[in-house]
Amino acid sequence: MTGEARANLQTPQSAQRRWRAGGVLLGLGLGGFFDGIVLHQILQWHHLVSAAYPPDTLENLQLNTLADGLFHAASWVFTVLGVGLLWSGLRGSGAHWRTSAFLGTLLLGWGLFNLVEGLVNHQVLGIHHVRPGPSQLAYDLGFLLWGAAMLMLGWRLMQAGRWGPER
């Protein structure tokens, strides 16, 4: 059976699950890329393991750069998987979906990234903080609030943009 024939066999519900999961994974990947590019590279506030291994020696800087690279590789995998699921969920299904639903999946995924990364890496493991220094808790909490806001807005947009034609 060809891929197109398989795509034509999917139900609207299974297609919807696939493209929604794809959008969330794509949002996770985009959140990771934003974090790595903006906070790690452009602003240079932290690296992935900079609290555990301060980048004050060449060896620690190399370790932090490797960890950042692995982090970007994982973000890339989330992004590729998300695109693949989006494609397979929409291909041949005759699906029509609202822009708000798509944006909602992206925001939900990005918000999920911020919440998980912020809770696990910043608070539980303490391997880095958003911006180390005297106000690091405020930056960490702001990151979590930003993530929660994106997650809630994403969920609302997904619900408002349920399966159906664009209006």
Furthest-apart CA atoms within the chain: distance in Å: 61
Pick left, alpha or beta for residue 133 (phi over 0 → left; psi -120 to 50 → alpha; otherwise beta). Answer: left
pLDDT at residue number 167: 44
Using an 8 Å Cβ cutoff, are 105 and 25 in contact? Answer: no
Please count the other Cβ atoms lying within 10 Å of the Cβ belonging to residue 1: 7
pLDDT in tens, the chain (167 residues): 555 555 556 677 888 888 889 999 999 999 999 999 999 999 999 999 999 999 999 999 999 999 999 999 999 999 999 999 988 887 766 666 788 989 999 999 999 999 999 999 999 999 999 999 999 999 999 999 999 999 999 999 988 876 554 44
- What DSSP string describes 14-36? HHHHHHHHHHHHHHHHHHHHHII
Q: How far apart are CA 74 and CA 66, in angstroms?
A: 12
Domain locations along the chain: 19-160
